[in-house]
Structure 1
């Protein structure tokens, strides 16, 4: 279906990065990591116009710099209030024939080609002003987006970049036999295999390092593709209305219908690898991993992005404060110290602590002989001690302070805790006002809740 001509507009102005606050320093002492790289944004604004491959409607997107820590965000400038859509896994709406993001009534579809170019260029922060519901397809490849970014340049910002270096293998299954394995690696590499029952495609494999230079060399030229036999069905569903030989490799039973044929014999697997890269921008961080993918799809790509994002969040929260460090903050000592270590921490927000319950605990001598059960009141005490660490960490001189708990509310015991159990206490700050705080906590054993409730406390001088 014919659409408006593509236009590529680069204004002469180069505003540089927008001002903004730097990254927030971790409050967990001695656990700060040296920054690997700095955040980046675009060096200016650039607009790309064309047609939406599915809507068939005129579309344009303007890429603009954004302040540090703002991330990638679409802004629907054609809608009232210009609603914004963050680029992350939580805002994925659809993955059927492309990746669609949404927030409220606003959507942004076919985002993967643009996101691949931004991801490859290492752009952490950008405002993507979208006019219409779909990113323009351009020629069906990643090239125009990569060229536009190269023309305005990428500039470094003051804030440290969020980088997730995978430290253990991750496996995810996708639909239709899709399989993903992410392995630790010093940089980002995508090894993709596709398998289509078509003589022009068959089984193809490609392995590609990801950098701005390698992306433009190896992946940027590869176009999206489809089958002529599917066109009628897709049109009936309101899809592929903007697809044409100008922006899609169209195959009939014998091969490509496009004049000039393919840009490379393995153009198909190269494009699929680029789609993987684009969907992984949803992780919200630069990645260091080797991604081995079999029969990738947008649904599978997003599932992998979600798994990696979850692990990245856990890694960013992870700390290892052992018993000796705990005693620097809490006045409790044996037998009343009921926290073995702290494993996750978010300053003034959340903390996770561990209590390993052994048969040698002194309270088991009388509670109960022959049927040892950890007293419920000590479960609450252990939970309170973990919560106390969350409060004490916010103090300048924790050794001179003590936490007094003032009230408990809604405390429930769900199942007994016995020798051999490991209780994982997670506490979240609900409110802090005039030196008094409310904390919500729960303890779990093997992911089953054993105790929960709200606590109120105040930090006092010793």
Structure 2
């Protein structure tokens, strides 16, 4: 397992917020394990904190904006992208305004600050969500779509098409997060001239200048527009370069717009709350679709965590095979419902059953639509627990196991022929006088299918 990380010391950056135009002081501070990324508004009474969590996304107008109990953080994505790109898990971000400084419109200066103080390993395993199936979100209004598929690393591809001649269609790919610093972090935010006019008319980008945003000129510049631009940016002269960019700004990359969109995806998906192992494919990404996808992914992760779906190597040699199980359990086919024991300790046991179409209960239980009876799933979990309790006596072959109580039984998914059932039983209380009280869960296809609180007792054969 990879360990969590934080920064080795504090570092402060100063600048202006892109939309507010306010002078901002921002300080990065080391954070404890499992903290994640948290923003603290030191300019407000009580110094309220906002976690970088997709559920706090308030709106996505020209950035990813968070709100918690009336406290705001604006345009969080460039800072968050820098931490993910520098392989950092836990940081406290103190701000004396609602918006981080825009700097040059990229994550470059944030990355440089992180590298200046360094990154240190912490004494806790990193939480990584391993993508096991295709997950997608589509914004029907715009056609924007984000999909993540299983992969052995975290990689991102962004494809953009704004329907303009000046920018055209662009793609960018980050094959591994280690490429972020050199290939992605210096890609600056951008806007089209028609958007710029609307932003200026609505009182936004007060902190913008021609050094922190690329402006693509997608229309003729009228005299009035030129006058407004000169006034807004404090310039005596503004020109359009042959590559269609306003003023004298040089591109860092030919596909800088697509790279910046990829940067935004990395920053917005940091709101999921853990690392992602999977390949992200973003078609026409934007902050709305990014954060909606982050909310969906976060919800899926929380459900899986709540169900505590375990992962076991089914090809590994089992702790007990069917012969060893039959030497301990008194059950025999067709009522022996455990094929293997994968794991066992003083407080838990993990069993396995391969469900085949040849099971005798399928003959009568919905033969035209075979489903494993729920009561037999509970019995199979109990037999796995029986292995645990019988292992506490020196002569298990001389004992029988009997149910005492079954509580809180829930069936969540159907179990069908071809499924592999995994049973995980954890002691609720220590085994005393042969009584076993345990929480039992059954899983198949990466999902919780049944759960129950079981109590059983072993008794010597008469």
Range of TM-score over shorter length? 0.5 to 0.7
1:200–1:357 CA distance, 2 compared to 1 (3 A): same
The 3 A distance-change label for structure 1 pair 351 and 95 is farther
Alpha-carbon separation, structure 1, partners of 2:99 and 2:80: 13
Give the equivalent residue in structure 1 for 2:283.
294
Does 2:281 align with 1:281?
no
In 2, are the aligned partners of 1:405 and 1:455 still within 8 Å (CA)? no
Cα distance change, pair 229–352 in 1 and its aligned pair in 2 (3 A):
farther
**1:318 aligned residue:** 311
What's the counterpart of residue 119 of structure 2? 154
CA, structure 1 residues 266+366, in 2 after alignment: closer, same or farther (shift >3 Å)?
Answer: closer
Per-residue CA deviations over 1:77-109 (Å, capped at 9, x if unaligned) read: 344544444434455444443223454544433
For 1:420 and 1:71, the matched residues in 2 are separated by 42
Query: Which residue, out of 432, 448, 457, partners 2:455?
Result: 457
Q: 1:403 to 1:56 in 2, by over 3 A?
A: farther
Which structure has the larger Rg?
Answer: 2
Partner of 1:43: 8
- Once residues 398 and 304 of structure 1 are traced to their aligned partners in structure 2, the CA distance between those partners, rounded to angstroms, is 49
Q: Which residue of 2 aligns with 1:356?
A: 355
TM-superposition CA deviations, 1:307-329 (whole Å, max 9, x none): 76647968983225698748779
Question: What residue is the counterpart of 2:249 in the other structure?
Answer: 260
| Equivalent residues of 1:318, 1:343 under 8 A apart | no
Check the 8 A contact 2:347/2:427 in 1, yes or no. no
Where does 1:106-121 land on structure 2 (aligned, <5 Å)? 106-121=71-86
Q: Pairwise mapping of residues 233-252 of structure 1 onto structure 2 (< 5 A)?
A: 233-234=198-199, 240-252=205-217
Cα pair 2:33 2:122 within 8 Å, conserved = yes
Q: Determine the structure 1 residue equivalent to 2:168.
A: 202
Are the aligned partners of 1:344 and 1:351 in contact in 2 as well (CA < 8 Å)? yes
Contact 2:406 2:454 in 1 (8 A): yes
Task: Provide, for residues 47-103 of structure 1, a one-character-per-residue CA deviation record: whole Å limited to 9, x for no partner.
Answer: 223333334444433211123343333334344544444434455444443223454
- Residues 121-140 of structure 1 mapped to structure 2, 5 A cutoff: 121-140=86-105
Residue in 2 that maps onto 1:20? none
Distance (whole Å) between structure 1 residues aligned to residue 163 and residue 135 of structure 2: 26
- 1:319–1:344 Cα contact (<8 Å) kept: no
SS at match of 1:296: coil
Question: 2:156 aligned with 1:190, yes or no?
Answer: yes
Helix, strand or coil at the partner of 1:174: strand
SS of 2:156's equivalent in the other structure is strand
| TM-score, reference length from structure 1 | 0.68
Offset at 1:116?
Answer: 1.3
Q: How many residues align?
A: 416
Q: In 2, are the aligned partners of 1:172 and 1:303 still within 8 Å (CA)?
A: no
User: Alpha carbons of 1:202 and 1:318: their partners in 2 closer, same or farther (altered >3 Å)?
Assistant: same
RMSD: 5.1
Structure-1 separation of matches of 2:348 and 2:19: 43
Report the TM-score, using the length of structure 2 for normalisation: 0.68
CA distance in 1, matches of 2:116, 2:16: 22
Q: Deviations over 1:256-306 (max 9, x none)?
A: 334435444322112112112222333444455444432122233345556
Kept after mapping to 2: 8 A contact 1:73/1:85: yes
Q: Equivalent residue for 2:405?
A: 407
Stretches of structure 2 lacking an aligned partner (at least 5 in a row): 220-243
Structure 1: gaps of 5 or more residues: 1-34
The partner residue of 1:333 within 331, 334, 343 is 331
Q: Which residue of 1 aligns with 2:259?
A: 270
**Which secondary structure state, in structure 2, belongs to the residue aligned with residue 272 of structure 1?**
helix
CA distance in 2 between partners of 1:355 and 1:143 (Å): 53
Separation in 2 of the partners of 1:103 and 1:65? Answer: 22
Q: In 2, distance between residues paired with 1:109 and 1:350?
A: 48
